[in-house]
């Protein structure tokens, strides 16, 4: 879903996309110590090109959690701005995990500055406090089957994501995760570790809750101008503001993407 160099062609050829990226960069600058455009223009470290690499090629920090997540957020925001410039207006929006930050901005629930603050501080806190202490894995199980697979290990593991009828993600302590994956492989259940060293949407995020809420004090969420279906609650965001408490839930609670897609379909929405 992402790769180094993603968005670079749009940055060079689409003025609306570039203007949005530059605005995102200014909003992020208050919270990060790197330049957004530089990171978007970085080349893969293992490039086989015989041509001399530009100076920014060695400046890539996209392997760092609190760089890549804000970069992805900015691409999401800029793509929405580009589509709107073409006359493509969303009837509804939905976001997956950290993608909800961009969705909330596109929906009008968060200003660009508040959205930048959420994604920058959320990702920074996870890197500082959780990186190196957990893992996540995709499993070909329904939500109910995934919940059954971790029975007895709920203090170490959680079903972090329900993506579809047979697509779930487990998250938590590595030793417990590997034990469950070994059991599932014995039953010929497809499993694949996700290339992360932290455990979003698991009990490990409980320790971050108070600090994240404190860091995000003063957000000024607004009512959605475009309907947004929450993957935290599985319901339309009406009475629940996307405040600091909401973003703490977004990090800790399971991603109810399957419920959200079902809700969108029932409301008559498609892609």
Instruction: For the chain, state the CA radius of gyration.
Output: 19
Which pLDDT score is estimated for 1? 66
Looking at the predicted structure, is the pLDDT value of residue 48 above 50?
Answer: no
- Quick one: average pLDDT of 173-202? 98
Which pLDDT score is estimated for 59? 61
Determine the Cα–Cα distance for residues 8 and 2; give it in Å rounded to an integer.
12
- Quick one: average pLDDT of 137-149? 98
CB 113 within 8 A of CB 101: no
Complete DSSP assignment for 129-156: HHTTS-EEEEES--HHHHHHHTTT-TTT
Residues sharing a CB contact under 8 Å with residue 217, sequence separation 6 or more, in sequence order: 244
- Quick one: average pLDDT of 77-91? 98
Which pLDDT score is estimated for 66? 92
Which pLDDT score is estimated for 58? 46
Which pLDDT score is estimated for 137? 99
Which pLDDT score is estimated for 53? 39
Looking at the predicted structure, is the pLDDT value of residue 224 above 70?
Answer: yes
Which one has a higher pLDDT value, 270 or 262? 262
Q: What share of the chain in percent tops pLDDT 90?
A: 85
Nearest to 54 by CA among 38, 67, 68, 65: 38
Determine the Cα–Cα distance for residues 18 and 24; give it in Å rounded to an integer.
10
Domains and CATH numbers, the chain: 8-46+53-130+207-266 (3.40.366.10), 135-196 (3.30.70.250)
Distances 40 to 52, 149, 190, 226 between C-alpha atoms, Å: 18, 40, 34, 28
For residue 62, name the pLDDT band (cuts at 50, 70, 90): confident
3 state DSSP class of 6: coil
Looking at the predicted structure, is the pLDDT value of residue 46 above 80?
Answer: no
**Is the pTM higher than 0.75?**
yes
Determine the Cα–Cα distance for residues 193 and 170; give it in Å rounded to an integer.
9
For residue 41, name the pLDDT band (cuts at 50, 70, 90): confident
Question: Using one digit for the tens of pLDDT, what is the confidence trace for 228-241?
Answer: 999 999 999 987 79
Looking at the predicted structure, is the pLDDT value of residue 51 above 50?
Answer: no
Which pLDDT score is estimated for 6? 83
């Amino acid at each position: 879903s992402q790769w180094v160099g993603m968005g670079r062609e749009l940055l060079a050829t689409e003025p609306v996309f570039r203007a949005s990226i530059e605005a995102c960069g200014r909003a992020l600058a208050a919270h990060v110590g790197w330049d957004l455009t530089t990171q978007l223009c970085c080349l893969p470290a293992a490039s086989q090109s015989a041509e001399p690499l530009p100076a920014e090629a060695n400046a890539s920090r996209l392997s760092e959690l609190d760089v890549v997540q804000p970069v992805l957020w900015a691409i999401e925001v800029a793509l929405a701005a580009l589509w709107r410039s073409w006359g493509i207006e969303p009837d509804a929006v939905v976001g997956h995990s950290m993608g909800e930050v961009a969705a909330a901005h596109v929906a009008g629930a968060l200003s660009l500055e508040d959205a930048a603050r959420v994604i920058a501080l959320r990702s920074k806190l996870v890197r500082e406090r959780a990186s190196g202490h957990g893992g996540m894995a995709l499993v070909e199980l329904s939500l109910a089957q995934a919940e059954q697979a971790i029975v007895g290990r709920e203090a170490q593991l959680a079903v972090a994501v329900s993506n579809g009828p047979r697509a779930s993600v487990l998250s938590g302590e590595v030793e417990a995760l590997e034990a469950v994956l070994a059991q599932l492989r014995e039953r010929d259940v497809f499993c694949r570790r996700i290339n992360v060293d932290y455990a979003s949407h698991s009990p490990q995020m409980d320790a971050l809750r108070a600090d994240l809420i404190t860091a995000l004090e003063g957000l000024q969420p607004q009512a959605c101008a475009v309907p947004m279906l929450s993957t935290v609650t599985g319901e339309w965001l009406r009475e629940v503001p996307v405040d600091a408490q909401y973003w703490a839930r977004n990090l800790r609670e399971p991603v109810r993407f399957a419920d959200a897609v079902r809700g969108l379909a029932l409301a008559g929405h498609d892609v």
